[in-house]
Amino acid sequence: MKKILILFSILPFLGMAQEKRIKIIEPIISTNMKVTSFGCDYIDEDMYLVNKDFVVYENCNSRKVLHPDMKSFRFPKHNERGFFALDKNGVYFRGEKIKTDTTGFKIIGRNNNYENPEVLWKIKDAVYKNNKTISVSDVETFQVVECFNGYYFKDKNYVYYFDKMIENSDGSSVQKSCNEFTFDKNNAYLKGEIITYKNEKIIPVNDVFLKTSTFVLTRNNDNFTIHPNVDTKTLRGLSRSYSVDDNNAYYGTAVLPVKKENLKNVKVWDQVNRAYLSDGEKVYSRDNDLKNNFDAKTFGMLPHSDFCFDKNGVYEREWIEADKKVIYVKFPFKYNKPISEDNLFITDDSRYIVYENQAYDPWDKKLYENLTSEQINQAKENKLRLDKVGNSKIEVDETYDYLLYKSGNTIYWDGKKTIADAGTFGSVNGVFYKDAKNVYNYSRGVGLQVIDGLDKETLEPTFNGFLKDKNFLYHYHHKIIKSKNIELLGIFTGYRKGCSQDRSPGSNYYLFKNIEGYWLVQISDNVTIRNLGNKLPNQQEWIPNLKQNFEN
């Protein structure tokens, strides 16, 4: 009887994520460690090291000590390669201060030259390329045509090949493009130049066909191919890849076996990674006749997704490697009414597909039934978050990371209750969280792990990914040095892995200063520290390969 009682007594804990603990690791002490150079004098990317009273900017071969207005110093959103910083007095681009009003600051786009990057950005009354203004016709509407690292930009009046205005172009009608070819209502452009074919104006049809008054063409780089069997006068684009003339429907340049009398019924869907055409009798995937039971008249696709539907169900495409074929798998809704656009939608973030009062998560393969009208409205507003604990559906109030969330008065990981206190739980930085009782490290595969040895009351993020409390500076759960009066003066490139087979750990070196003097720190799979004394020694003693004087 005692065995049975003991078994029952542990059952309530089986659904709870078990407590896991991490102990702080002490640093390795060195008396002779030096920075070993691996190609850069400093760090192999652009960085601003923010201290209490000053900022250090570094890239591969330069370092500057900056004195911005610290109260207003900040980094903009979508900070391209870490090039930018702002304060109330101006913009910093790669460590260079540009005195300007920062109102309306926005990074617009960049080129694809990694070694010699050019970035377009703007404020309310000017557009810049790197640190110099450029001329545009309308600053307010200046924007990328499509891709952040594309070739074309536009404002309401003109098209620009990066920063060069194209005369006689029309910014209001330019078509989306991420490559060196685009067009507007006036012209077609290749590498920023107007192109023609046999002195005839080129009119793009879609991403495949072009045409003039005489010819239908496709383009391969600078070469054109004529397609004499396509009717120039009646050819029109239907999507990125589908087009139709009075005789045929096309996917790319391939002719689809659509009956001529069915051309008037053609509908296409061409989005994300899928392309379909229905002629009212059959459904084609790209240029393939699908051997399936889709109802061609009610076939459709859910927006911004690869999922399709007809009146009988909602489907996803799967490749069966063993059979070398594609199949369409029906989502496991409880189907009780024909599918239509009136009872089916996908959330804006593609998290849920909602049919009637059911929501399906295609990523975690979970079906939620019996949604309330409020939950359906939340889904339409892209605010619905659900999970399952056992067989029960719960609403997610706040998501912290993948699988980590709060519901009611409980913090869950992967559908299991954790020991964290929901009332005081919050993020410290990155994968670190704390509540009134503990500091935690979060791993998607393990969950929350209690870190012993940190002062939770004073723990805060500092510098570039480090943590500190009232006692020490930390890198993850590695103790480094005392945190009092801590300053980060420099970062230096350490070892970089040579290939995917290289099992050696990567590393960086850091120069810190605190109440005990200067410290050289190497961070790799462990932490090694060397005290350099109260006065920074000769460079040969700690960074012998630096080609310039280190500014303290």
Structural contact between residues 79 and 107, judged by C-beta atoms closer than 8 angstroms: yes
List all residues 6 or more positions away from 271 whose beta carbon is below 8 Å from its beta carbon: 301, 303, 304, 305, 306
Nearest alpha-carbon partner for 136 in 114, 117, 161, 99: 161
Residue 522 maps to a domain: yes
Structural contact between residues 402 and 414, judged by C-beta atoms closer than 8 angstroms: no
Residue 121 maps to a domain: no
Write the pLDDT tens digit of every residue in 252-275.
999 999 999 999 999 999 999 999
Write the pLDDT tens digit of every residue in 134-189.
999 999 999 999 999 999 999 999 999 999 999 999 999 999 999 999 999 999 99
Write the pLDDT tens digit of every residue in 402-425.
999 999 999 999 999 999 999 999
Nearest alpha-carbon partner for 493 in 112, 40, 18: 40
Write the pLDDT tens digit of every residue in 273-297.
999 999 999 999 987 766 667 999 9
Q: Is 107 exposed, middle or buried (0-12, 13-18, 19+ CB in 10 A)?
A: middle
Report CA-CA distances (Å) from 436 to 263, 419, 426: 68, 11, 10
List all residues 6 or more positions away from 189 whose beta carbon is below 8 Å from its beta carbon: 152, 159, 161, 166, 169, 181, 182, 183, 195
Q: What backbone phi and psi angles, to 5 degrees, belong to 264? A: -70, -15
List all residues 6 or more positions away from 444 whose beta carbon is below 8 Å from its beta carbon: 401, 402, 403, 404
Structural contact between residues 351 and 360, judged by C-beta atoms closer than 8 angstroms: no
Q: How confident is the model at residue 17 (pLDDT cuts 50, 70, 90)?
A: low
What are the structure tokens assigned to 438, written together? 């503990």
Range of the domain at 486: 31-67+460-552
Determine the average pLDDT of the residues in 514-540.
Answer: 97
Report CA-CA distances (Å) from 147 to 12, 64, 116, 180, 249: 52, 32, 19, 11, 30
Cα separation, 270 vs 503, whole angstroms: 43
Determine the average pLDDT of the residues in 189-199.
Answer: 94
Residue 267 maps to a domain: no
Q: How confident is the model at residue 370 (pLDDT cuts 50, 70, 90)?
A: very high
Tokens 């919050």, residue? 426
Nearest alpha-carbon partner for 121 in 76, 88, 159, 164: 76
In this prediction, residue 435 carries a pLDDT of 97
Residue 468 maps to a domain: yes
Tokens 């054109």, residue? 224
List all residues 6 or more positions away from 496 whose beta carbon is below 8 Å from its beta carbon: 38, 44, 506
Long-range contacts of 297-304 (CB under 8 A, 24+ apart): 298/338, 298/339, 298/340, 299/267, 300/269, 300/341, 301/269, 301/271, 301/274, 301/276, 302/344, 302/345, 302/346, 302/353, 303/271, 303/346, 304/271, 304/272, 304/346, 304/348, 304/350
What sign for the dihedral angle of Cα 457, 462, 465, 466?
Answer: negative
Q: How many CB atoms lie under 10 A from the CB of residue 216?
A: 22
Classify the phi-psi angles of 370: left when phi > 0, otherwise alpha if psi is within -120 to 50, otherwise beta.
Answer: left
Residue 341 maps to a domain: no
Residue 235 maps to a domain: no
Determine the average pLDDT of the residues in 180-201.
Answer: 93
Q: How confident is the model at residue 18 (pLDDT cuts 50, 70, 90)?
A: low
Q: How many CB atoms lie under 10 A from the CB of residue 405?
A: 21
Structural contact between residues 158 and 128, judged by C-beta atoms closer than 8 angstroms: no
Residue 332 maps to a domain: no
Would you list the DSSP string of 434-472? E-SS-EEEEETTTEEEEEET--TTT-EEETTTEEE-SSE
Q: Which amino acid is present at 458?
A: T
> How many domains does one find in the chain?
1
Average pLDDT for the chain = 93
Cα separation, 204 vs 206, whole angstroms: 6
Residue 473 maps to a domain: yes
Between 25 and 326, the more confident residue is 25
- Percentage of the chain beyond pLDDT 70 is 96
Q: Which amino acid is present at 372?
A: T
In this prediction, residue 16 carries a pLDDT of 54
Determine the average pLDDT of the residues in 109-121.
Answer: 93
In this prediction, residue 487 carries a pLDDT of 98
In this prediction, residue 14 carries a pLDDT of 41
What are the structure tokens assigned to 225, written together? 């191919």
Q: How confident is the model at residue 20 (pLDDT cuts 50, 70, 90)?
A: confident
Report CA-CA distances (Å) from 313 to 308, 333, 380: 9, 8, 20
Determine the average pLDDT of the residues in 533-545.
Answer: 95
Cα separation, 452 vs 411, whole angstroms: 20
